[in-house]
């Protein structure tokens, strides 16, 4: 029996179609990883493709690890030559070899979010930017968005002409990039941007990688942004054997720069592309899939498909509405405790999914009280803790002395009597001479006004130079132990108090375990300091999920993508929470559709049982707010719910009406608002609109604009307006409340 006989017809078709551009629309739980791994095996075994010529890219380390494991198992000998990695890891591998062509050292540092904030503070201080007006996080977000679109400082400055605000950002962007280069550092966005730049400007390197990667496969294609699309397009341009796998219904990362048009318009970019739909689901019950289909079919911007399964009907959905958020949490925690007590489930078979991180607090309190083990995915990242960042800064300084942020972080950790005044004098000297901070330290005795501090700086440099020599012959684990011994870091922790010190020591022990684990994983090549720092820099918080540990998982809906659990609780299902208040009040169709896709992702995480809960009132930002149940609940066919219909659920009966009546009921009142005198806001009493294409209208947030399109849908009118201030926006008339001018 062939390994391909275990695939269904559509999966086999996707595996056997090997030449030219291919779009695989893979619904949730449809076995896409299985298809990709079998496709790789088929290319090697049946088509005679050299493993060296295959590149498989996905988005998370966890997904890449699973694919790597499956590929090794199926392909066997030669599989190690296949590149199976994330976008960022792929780019790092290329840049480590060739970034010197762009003027960087190959031992560059990768800056995390905290490093970026620190650097941005320096930039704002140097440019005398008022951070009350131009907040550092907003400046970083603007720069990140520009990089997502492959807009470099020169182009950004050109586009900013005539806009004072954007001109300020352009100056910050230019200086930020200048300081990154001076530190021989890249941020996460740069890993992609610099790789594209490298391929665009170095024909010989482009030729090498186009020849090497003759067959390219990209997973989770709906999550790609513009620069990722450019990277893949450039690499695949010569042989055009590009297979992308994704699901437009699971595109939920617009806020990170994901461009859903990459998957929706794939056939426009690659006109000869072949499309295969994987709609058979192997994860969930028929009831859960009907609920997911019921919600997502309300989106306009999607490719038509519907999930189905042979798993059987399964249990009905559970819906509960509570008076407040505490009652909601009590119910969920009690339900989980009952499952475990009866021996029906273990703790790790339960997941609580919510829209925002703030919603976890009440559940955490209840779990602590009930003595139930839990873990919050998406909390403080292990590598963001102070003691871990301190020790990693030592390793970064040893590996890349040009990283000013790392050197400045540890120059007085543990305390060496080196004050801020001394550090500032060294920095001024480094800036005047155009050298790195560490280079200035090496000649500290020559710095004017440095005085007695020179001896302390010389001692620090001697310590780092000693570590650099040690790094040439020691394993990373041995080097880390030497750093702890020579610096007295652990002894210094004792000053913080016993309990705090113990917690920090436990984290350091975990770091040592991580280093040991890294060294063990380097089977075919020697472990290196750069390699370890690279692995740490690319880790994602969801990768810390240990499926073998027995604890309840709490996570946002965004973090849950790609995971599955027998028991799922989707909590806070209220208008104003999910969908969010801004989405509800602004009437932006694209934002609402993104939120609906997020709901679809949440539903399809459930394998056997799905519970949906909401509360009539909830404390938000210190204010009690009264919410209607989420409009997404009303899009689930009512017959899929199994528990008794309580009086407060009578609102659900609206789903029995036709779709247009549903929409009217959903739009009748605005979440959080008290009853107000009826106002038409553009909707005539007898139906229709009191404005038409070509009319000028006014929106409460976007201001004035011109109506360019009105489409009558089943639920409401879809109106497109080109606003004077923000450009085109699509929205539902019932939400938008446009007023004719």
pLDDT > 90? residue 583: no
Residue 287 has pLDDT above 60, yes or no: yes
Cα torsion for 155, 159, 163, 166, to the nearest 10°?
-40
**Residue 739 pLDDT greater than 80, yes or no:** yes
Q: 705-722, pLDDT tens digit by residue?
A: 888 888 876 557 888 888
pLDDT attached to residue 248: 94
- What's the mean pLDDT in 493-510? 76
Indicate the Cα dihedral angle 291, 292, 298, 299, nearest 10°: 170
Among 76-80, 310-314, 552-556, where is mean pLDDT lowest?
Answer: 76-80
For the segment 237-268, what is each residue's pLDDT rounded down to a tens digit? 999 999 999 999 999 998 888 999 999 999 99
Active site residues: 32-33, 219-220, 250, 605
Q: What is the mean pLDDT of residues 202-213?
A: 97
Could you tell me the CA-to-CA distances from 344 to 329, 332, 341, 567 in Å, in that order?
Answer: 20, 16, 8, 11
Q: What is the rounded CA–CA span in Å between residue 256 and residue 711?
A: 30
90, with CB counted inside 10 A (0-12, 13-18, 19+), is buried
Task: Report pLDDT digits (tens) over 667-700.
Answer: 443 333 333 333 334 444 345 788 888 888 888 7
Q: Which residues of 392-405 are buried (b: 16+ CB within 10 A; e: fewer)?
A: bbbbbbbbbbbbbb
> Which pLDDT score, from 0 to 100, does residue 673 have?
33
CA 680 from centre of chain:
40
Whether the per-residue pLDDT at 322 is higher than 90: the answer is yes
Residue with more model confidence, 643 or 19: 19
- The most distant pair of C-alpha atoms in the chain lies apart, rounded to whole Å, by 86
Residue 47: pLDDT band by 50, 70, 90 thresholds?
Answer: very high
* Whether the predicted pLDDT of 585 surpasses 80: no
pLDDT score at 672: 36
Residue 397 pLDDT greater than 60, yes or no? yes
Torsion of CA 494, 496, 499, 501, to 10 degrees: -50
DSSP code string of 556-594: EHHHHTT--EEEEEE---BTBTTTBHHHHHH-BHHHHHH
Total Cβ atoms within 10 A of residue 433: 13
Q: pLDDT category, 301, cuts 50, 70, 90?
A: confident
Q: Is the model's pLDDT at 734 over the cut of 80?
A: no
- With bands split at pLDDT 50, 70 and 90, how would you rate the model's confidence at 178? very high
Report the pLDDT value the prediction gives residue 649, as an integer from 0 to 100.
Answer: 44
What average pLDDT is seen over the chain?
87
**Tally of CB atoms within 10 A around 330:** 17
The pLDDT of residue 534 is: 87
Give the pLDDT score at 16.
Answer: 96
Express each pLDDT in 218-227 by its tens digit. 999 999 999 9
Give residue 535's pLDDT band: very low, low, confident or very high (50, 70, 90). confident
Q: Please give the DSSP secondary-structure letter assigned to residue 308.
A: B
Segment 212-222 mean pLDDT: 95
Could you read off the pLDDT of 134-143 as tens digits, one per residue? 889 899 999 9
Output the pLDDT for position 142: 93
Quick check: 377 pLDDT over 80?
A: yes
Q: Percent of the chain at pLDDT above 90?
A: 57
The mean pLDDT value for 442-459 works out to: 87
């Amino acid at each position: 029996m062939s390994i391909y006989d275990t695939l269904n017809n559509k999966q086999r078709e996707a595996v056997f179609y090997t030449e030219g551009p291919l779009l695989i629309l893979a619904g949730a739980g449809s076995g896409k990883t299985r298809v990709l791994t079998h496709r790789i095996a088929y290319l090697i075994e049946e088509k005679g493709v050299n493993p060296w010529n295959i590149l498989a890219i996905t988005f998370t380390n966890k997904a890449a690890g699973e694919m790597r494991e499956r590929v090794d198992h199926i392909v066997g000998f030669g599989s190690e030559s296949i590149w199976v990695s994330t976008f960022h890891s792929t780019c790092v591998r290329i840049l480590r070899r060739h970034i010197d062509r762009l003027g960087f050292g190959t031992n560059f540092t990768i800056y995390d979010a905290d490093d970026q904030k620190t650097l941005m503070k320096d930039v704002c201080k140097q440019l005398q930017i008022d951070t009350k007006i131009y907040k550092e996080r907003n400046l970083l977000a603007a720069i990140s968005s520009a990089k997502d679109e492959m807009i470099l400082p020169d182009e950004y400055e050109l586009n900013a002409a005539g806009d004072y605000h954007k001109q300020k950002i352009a100056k910050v962007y230019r200086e930020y990039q200048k300081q990154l280069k001076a530190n021989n550092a890249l941020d996460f966005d740069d890993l992609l941007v610099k790789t594209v730049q490298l391929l665009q400007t170095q024909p010989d390197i482009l030729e090498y990688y186009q020849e090497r990667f003759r067959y390219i496969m990209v997973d989770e294609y709906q999550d790609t942004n513009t620069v990722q699309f450019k990277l893949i397009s450039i690499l695949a341009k010569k042989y055009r054997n590009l297979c992308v796998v994704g699901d437009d219904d699971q595109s939920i990362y617009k806020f990170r720069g994901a461009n859903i048009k990459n998957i929706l318009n794939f056939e426009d970019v690659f006109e000869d592309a072949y499309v295969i739909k994987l709609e058979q689901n192997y994860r969930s019950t028929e009831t859960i899939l009907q609920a997911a289909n019921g919600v997502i079919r309300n989106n306009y911007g999607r490719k038509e498909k519907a999930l189905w399964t042979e798993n059987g009907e399964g249990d009905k959905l559970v819906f509960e509405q509570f008076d407040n958020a505490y009652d909601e949490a009590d119910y969920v925690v009690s339900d989980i405790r009952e499952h475990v007590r009866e021996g029906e489930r273990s703790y790790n078979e339960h997941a609580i999914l919510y829209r925002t991180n703030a919603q976890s607090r009440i559940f955490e309190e209840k779990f602590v009280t009930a003595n139930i083990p839990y873990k919050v995915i998406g909390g403080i990242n292990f590598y963001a803790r102070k003691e871990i960042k301190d020790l990693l800064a030592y390793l970064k300084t040893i590996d890349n002395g040009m990283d000013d942020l790392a050197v400045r972080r540890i120059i007085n950790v543990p305390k060496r009597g080196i004050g801020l005044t001394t550090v500032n004098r060294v920095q001024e000297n480094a800036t005047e001479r155009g050298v790195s901070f560490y280079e200035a330290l090496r000649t500290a005795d020559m710095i004017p006004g440095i005085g007695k501090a020179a001896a302390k700086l010389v001692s620090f440099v001697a310590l780092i130079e000693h570590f650099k020599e040690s790094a040439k012959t020691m394993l990373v684990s041995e080097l880390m132990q030497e750093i702890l011994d020579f610096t007295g870091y652990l002894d210094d922790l004792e000053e913080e108090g016993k309990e705090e010190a113990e917690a920090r020591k436990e984290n350091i022990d975990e770091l040592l375990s991580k280093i040991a684990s890294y060294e063990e994983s380097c089977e075919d090549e020697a472990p290196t300091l750069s390699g370890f720092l690279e692995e740490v820099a690319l880790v994602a918080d969801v990768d810390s999920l240990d499926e073998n540990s027995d604890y309840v998982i709490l996570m946002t809906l965004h973090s849950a993508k790609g995971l599955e659990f027998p028991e799922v609780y989707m909590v806070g299902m209220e208008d104003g929470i999910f969908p969010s208040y801004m989405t509800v009040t602004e009437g932006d169709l694209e934002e609402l559709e993104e939120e609906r896709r997020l709901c679809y992702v949440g539903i399809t995480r459930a394998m056997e049982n799905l519970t949906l809960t909401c509360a009539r009132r909830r404390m938000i930002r210190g204010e009690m707010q009264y919410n209607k149940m989420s409009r997404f609940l009303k899009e689930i066919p009512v017959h899929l719910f199994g528990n008794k219909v309580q009086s407060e659920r009578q609102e659900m009966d609206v789903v029995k009406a036709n779709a247009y009546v549903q929409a009217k009921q959903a739009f009748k009142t605005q979440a959080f608002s008290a009853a107000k005198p009826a106002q038409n806001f553009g909707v005539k009493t007898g139906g229709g609109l009191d404005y038409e294409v070509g009319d000028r209208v006014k929106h409460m947030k976007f201001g004035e604009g011109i109506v360019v399109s009105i489409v009558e849908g089943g639920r409401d009118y879809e109106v497109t307006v080109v606003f004077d201030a923000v450009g085109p926006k699509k929205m539902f008339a019932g939400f938008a409340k446009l007023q004719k001018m």
